[in-house]
């Protein structure tokens, strides 16, 4: 699992995940996601490079989303593959982990659900 963070210094960070969000992948992203969730107001997570997601991976995403929500922040997932989107939808977590299809939609979703 590869994690790349784009941080332009504002309250929102963009994170691109690439690989499998299985046990090993989840371990690789756990600390960076928790750190960003504690430091930022919002996270936009590009999921287009994630080919597989396991329950442990979902757990780390939910933990980050809840940490942000406690501070009136938010998290959105951008462009998950159909398989990953189906797993997230089936898990019933799309209220906590909303799925959008562009960065513009992500910014709109974050501003709508968590106004400044």
Neighbours of 37 (CB within 10 A): 25
pLDDT at 8: 72
Per-residue pLDDT tens, the chain, 116 aa: give them: 999 999 777 899 999 999 999 999 999 999 999 999 999 999 999 999 999 999 999 999 999 999 999 999 999 999 999 999 999 999 999 999 999 999 999 999 998 765 54
- In this prediction the pTM is 0.92
Query: What residues contact 58, with CB distance under 8 A and at least 6 apart?
Result: 21, 87, 88, 91, 93, 97
Residue with tokens 């996270």: 43
What is the DSSP code (8-state) at residue 59? H
Residue 56 to residue 60: CA distance in whole angstroms: 7
The domains located in the chain, with CATH, are: 2-8+11-113 (3.30.750.24)
Q: Under the phi-then-psi rule, with left for phi > 0, alpha for psi from -120 to 50, and beta for the rest, what region is 19?
A: left
Task: Output the six-digit token pair for 19.
Answer: 């690989």
pLDDT at 113: 65
pLDDT at 115: 52
pLDDT at 112: 76
């Amino acid at each position: 699992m590869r994690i790349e963070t784009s941080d332009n210094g504002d309250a929102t960070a963009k994170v691109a995940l690439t690989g499998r969000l299985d046990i090993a992948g989840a371990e690789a992203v756990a600390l960076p996601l928790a750190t960003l969730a504690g430091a930022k107001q919002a996270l936009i997570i590009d999921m287009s490079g994630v080919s597989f997601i396991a329950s442990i991976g979902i757990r780390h995403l939910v933990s980050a989303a809840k940490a942000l929500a406690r501070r009136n922040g938010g998290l959105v997932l951008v462009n998950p593959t159909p398989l990953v989107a189906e797993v997230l939808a089936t898990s019933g977590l799309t209220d906590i982990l909303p799925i959008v299809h562009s960065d513009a939609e992500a910014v709109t979703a974050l501003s709508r659900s968590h106004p400044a």
